[in-house]
Each structure stands twice: as C-alpha cells, then as structure tokens.
C-alpha cells in the first residue's frame, strides 16, 4: 500500500475512534435518542475491509455502523446530524444511529434486525450478476448473526448461484451478553462456510493491514468464482450498546484485549517499519479531532426536520 493510503487509513481509524467517543458523550448528555452501538475496538475491521473495495462494490452492515459509514465516505458532520435527528443527516434525521445509509456512496445501511441484511446482500449480488457487472457486495455482520437462519439461507443460496458476495463476520466474541462459546456450536465461525462448500479465512481483526490484504485476496476470488467468508477476530472495548451493565466479561479479559488496540498496533507498525514520524501521525490525530469538533458544531446548528414533514417518506399514505 502506498504511503499516502497508509496515512489516510490511520487518519480514518482515529477519526472513527473520536467520532465514537464524542457520540458516547452526546448520548450521556441525552442529546442522542434511541440505541447507540459503538465501534470502539473494531476499527481495523471496517477500515481494512472497505480500503480494499472499489467504488462499484456495494457495502451493507448491521447496526454497529458508524465506522463502516465513515470508511465508505460519509462525512462525520452528516453522521452526527443523523445521530442528533437533524434534517441534514443522511436519512434526514429519521433513521438515527442504526440506520446510516447513502446509496450514492454505495453504502446500503445500517440494519437493526440481526441477520436480516444477509438475504438483502445476496439479492444485491444477484442483481449485479444478472446485469453482467463485475461489482461485488461486501456484507458485514456479527458472530451472533451466524446463529440465525438468515445467515444459513443466504450463504447457501449465494453458493448455489455463485453470487459475487464477500461475507465478513466481525467476530467480537459476544452477541450482547452471550459469548460465542455459549451460543454457537463451533467457536471458529469460518467453519460454518464449509457446510456450503464455501472457501473461508480467519484473520486478526486488530491488524488493519492483515484485514486489508485478506480482503483483497478474498475479493479476487469473489469476482472470479463466487462467495467467500472472511472471519475477523476482534473485540469491542465498550458495552454492547450504551447502558450495558457489562456483567458478563472479566476486567482482565478486557484489559488483555486493550493491549491489542488496533490503532496502537497500526501506529507502532507505521513508526517502526513503514518510515512514518511521530509528528506526522500526531498531526493526523489533531486533524481528526478538529474535524469531529466542527462536525458536532454543524450538527448542533442544523435545523430539526419541520413538523409538517413528519409523514414524508412513508410507503403508505
Ligand atoms: C432477530 C433479532 N433478534 C434479536 C435482536 C436483539 N439483538 C440486538 S443485537 C444482538 C446481538 C447480536 O450480536 P452480533 O451479531 O455478534 O453483533 P455485535 O453486537 O456483537 O456487533 C441481539 C440479540 C435483534 N436485533 N434482532
Ligand atoms: Mg458480536
């Protein structure tokens, strides 16, 4: 990867981290309503996967979607405006945290029902194949989603029809308060691909370059031959959502994973092996902080949706 791209990848991961920290503050102040699921700890997965996509490739994910939206090119000010329910948000304040989306960015959302977007991903990949496009669909979901029927139906059909879809499981080792071992018959999620004769790989989801390289390789396969399941082993440092009392994880387990902070690992690599200076990386961090500050100001100054638009965008009159 060229130097410029490495630098912007670092900037992006810091941007996502700061965006999430700021979102947590705003939520605690009661300025964000509804649910809020933070991506802190998982930044290397979204950034690594999306860095390998081409603009024609579609991206779809679950409700832990802020980082993926940023990687797809959504501006932080648009994200904050959506979180604050403002007219300038990507869904004009109607969707909130779990429903970020922008079709112009080929980012198809933000979905709140666990596993339900996997059949949608299969459908989008079917559409591309049917039209003779060589675009791929990148579908991201959690470990918990792989215990749901939708996952198995979507993987099966994608293999039967050799659809150009990359299944990316973000295995953060918990679905709400339930560990993978308690909910899944196999804890190595990639094994689930083998029932459908689908190739798979497991990568260290705390190492953005490993995720990027594995995604590139997997996408080559997807474009030529069909589906692939990529499992990224990762960890979320915060609760499942805001207000999670977190009684299911031991403090020392969280501390152990904190040592593998994806931003820290990448920073060390950039400094030690890839010729970056502390100054350059500090400047990128400062840039990210400023962008987040300005984004929040933009969102706060934006208007609420007008009350007479309350019934706009509904399917039923
Ligand atoms: C069909 C369905 N069942 C239950 C829920 C409640 N629920 C929300 S998130 C979640 C856990 C999902 O875990 P995972 O797929 O691992 O994603 P993560 O939150 O770890 O990113 C559950 C059970 C839901 N939203 N949809
Ligand atoms: Mg999970």
- Residues 227-252 have pLDDT tens digits of 999 999 999 999 999 989 999 999 99
Atom of ligand 1 nearest to the CA of 146: 15
Name the residue with tokens 């604050």: 84
Model confidence band, residue 316 (pLDDT cutoffs 50, 70, 90)? confident
DSSP secondary structure, 215-227, as one string: HHHHHHHHHHT--
State pLDDT tens for residues 112-162.
999 999 999 999 999 999 999 999 999 999 999 999 999 999 999 999 999
Model confidence band, residue 79 (pLDDT cutoffs 50, 70, 90)? very high
For residue 279, how far is its CA from the centre of ligand 2 (angstroms)? 36
Atom of ligand 1 nearest to the CA of 172: 20
Longest CA span, the chain? 60
Q: pTM for the full model? A: 0.98
Q: How many domains does the chain have?
A: 1
Q: Give mean pLDDT, residues 200-220.
A: 98
112 lines ligand 1 (CB under 6 A): yes
The CATH number of the domain holding residue 58 is 3.40.50.970
Residue nearest to atom 7 of ligand 1 (CA): 114
The CA distances from residue 266 to 68, 85, 213, in Å, are 18, 34, 14
175 lines ligand 1 (CB under 6 A): yes
Q: Is residue 71 part of a domain?
A: yes
Q: What is the pLDDT of residue 315?
A: 87
174 lines ligand 1 (CB under 6 A): yes
What residue numbers bound the domain in which 59 lies? 3-303
Report the distance separating Cα 91 and Cα 81, nearest Å.
9
Ligand 1 pocket mutation, candidates 46, 176, 183, 244, criterion most atoms within 8 A of CB: 176
Atom of ligand 1 nearest to the CA of 236: 20
Which ligand lies nearest the alpha carbon of 174? 2
Residues 16 and 261 sit within 8 Å (Cβ to Cβ): no
Q: Is residue 316 part of a domain?
A: no
The residue count of the chain comes to: 317
Give the phi and the psi of residue 93 in degrees, each rounded to 5: 75, 5
Coil/strand/helix, residue 56 = coil
For residue 132, how far is its CA from the centre of ligand 1 (angstroms)? 34
Coil/strand/helix, residue 167 = strand
Q: What is the pLDDT of residue 57?
A: 98
Model confidence band, residue 317 (pLDDT cutoffs 50, 70, 90)? confident
295 pLDDT exceeds 80? yes
Which ligand lies nearest the alpha carbon of 141? 1
Q: Is residue 309 part of a domain?
A: no
Q: Show the beta-strand stretches assigned E in the chain.
A: 58-60, 137-142, 165-171, 174-175, 178-179, 200-204, 228-233
Residues 6+ apart with CB under 8 A from 108: 58, 59, 60, 101, 117, 120, 124
Q: Is residue 177 part of a domain?
A: yes
Atom of ligand 1 nearest to the CA of 171: 16
Q: Is residue 311 part of a domain?
A: no
């Amino acid at each position: 990867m060229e130097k410029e791209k490495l630098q912007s990848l670092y900037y992006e991961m810091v941007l996502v981290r700061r965006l999430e920290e700021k979102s947590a503050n705003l939520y605690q102040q009661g300025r964000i309503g509804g649910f809020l699921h933070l991506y802190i700890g998982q930044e290397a997965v979204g950034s690594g996967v999306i860095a390998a996509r081409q603009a024609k490739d579609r991206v779809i994910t679950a409700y832990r979607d802020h980082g993926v939206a940023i990687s797809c090119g959504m501006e932080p000010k648009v994200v904050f405006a959506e979180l604050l329910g403002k007219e300038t948000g990507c869904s004009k304040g109607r969707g909130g945290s779990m429903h970020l989306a922008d079709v112009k960015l080929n980012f198809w959302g933000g979905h709140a029902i666990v596993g339900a977007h996997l059949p949608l991903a299969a459908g989008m990949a079917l559409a591309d194949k049917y039209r003779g496009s060589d675009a791929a669909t990148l579908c991201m979901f959690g470990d918990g989603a792989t215990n749901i029927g939708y996952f198995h139906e979507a993987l099966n059909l994608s293999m039967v029809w050799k659809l150009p879809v990359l299944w990316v499981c973000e295995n953060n080792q918990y679905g709400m308060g339930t560990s993978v071992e308690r909910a899944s018959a196999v804890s190595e999620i990639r094994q689930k691909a083998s029932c459908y004769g689908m190739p798979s790989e497991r990568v260290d989801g705390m190492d953005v370059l490993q995720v990027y390289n594995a995604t590139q390789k997997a996408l080559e396969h997807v474009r030529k031959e069909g589906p692939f399941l990529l499992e990224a082993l990762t960890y979320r440092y915060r609760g499942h959502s805001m207000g999670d009392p977190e009684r299911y994880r031991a403090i020392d387990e969280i501390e152990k994973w904190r040592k593998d902070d994806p931003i820290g690992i990448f920073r060390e690599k950039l400094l030690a092996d890839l010729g970056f200076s502390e100054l350059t990386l500090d400047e990128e961090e400062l840039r990210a902080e400023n962008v987040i500050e300005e984004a929040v100001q933009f969102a706060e100054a934006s208007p609420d949706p007008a009350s007479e638009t309350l019934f706009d965008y509904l399917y039923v009159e």
